[in-house]
């Protein structure tokens, strides 16, 4: 069974990096969005357009991902669902979601939603940086290499 990469593509800043790394390893990647998105012409890249709506793209990803696959997302609840299927999940800025960290990430997300619901203005995430891109590339490459070794045993 080959590793697949799923990209929660709306507002994902590292799609090009995913395409390059996936191509180098000969892996199929799926770009999931609720609107048309330009992708390179490659038999290894599939564009999936889902209906608009809350969690529609997330539900598609969860329905198709299997243990050992990779999901790129900033969506913490999606990451939790992916981890429950024993797949890898990480944010575009280079942070892996792990079984040990996902509970805290969900709690922090809930707390921030509560704070915003009270009318408090919170700052958004810091700007995406070259260091974020570098961390993401390193993590993606290491995860693929580790998963390929595991599958060849």
Can you give the residue range of the structural domain that contains 91? 4-152
Neighbouring residues of 32: CB distance < 8 A, sequence distance ≥ 6: 6, 7, 8, 9, 48, 50, 57, 60, 61
pLDDT band, residue 152 (cuts 50/70/90): confident
CA gyration radius for the chain? Answer: 16
The answer to whether the CB of 73 falls within 8 A of the CB of 93 is no
Residues 129-151: tens digit of each pLDDT: 999 999 999 999 999 999 999 98
The number of distinct structural domains making up the chain is 1
pLDDT digits (tens, 9 = 90+) for 30-88: 999 999 999 999 999 999 999 998 899 999 999 999 999 999 998 889 999 999 999 99
Specify the CATH number for the domain of residue 113: 3.40.50
């Amino acid at each position: 069974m080959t590793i697949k990469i799923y990209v929660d593509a709306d507002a994902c800043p590292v799609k090009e990096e995913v395409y390059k790394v996936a191509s180098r390893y000969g892996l199929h990647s799926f770009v999931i969005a609720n609107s048309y998105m330009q992708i390179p012409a490659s038999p290894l890249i599939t564009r999936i357009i889902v209906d608009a709506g809350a969690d529609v793209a997330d539900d598609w990803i969860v329905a198709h991902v299997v243990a050992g696959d990779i999901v790129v997302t900033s969506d913490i609840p999606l990451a939790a669902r992916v981890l429950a299927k024993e797949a890898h999940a990480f944010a575009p800025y280079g942070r892996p979601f792990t079984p040990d960290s996902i509970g805290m990430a969900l709690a922090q997300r809930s707390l921030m939603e509560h704070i915003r619901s009270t009318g408090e203005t919170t700052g958004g995430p810091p700007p995406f940086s070259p260091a974020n891109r570098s961390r993401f590339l390193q993590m993606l490459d290491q995860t693929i290499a580790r998963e390929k070794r595991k599958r060849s045993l």
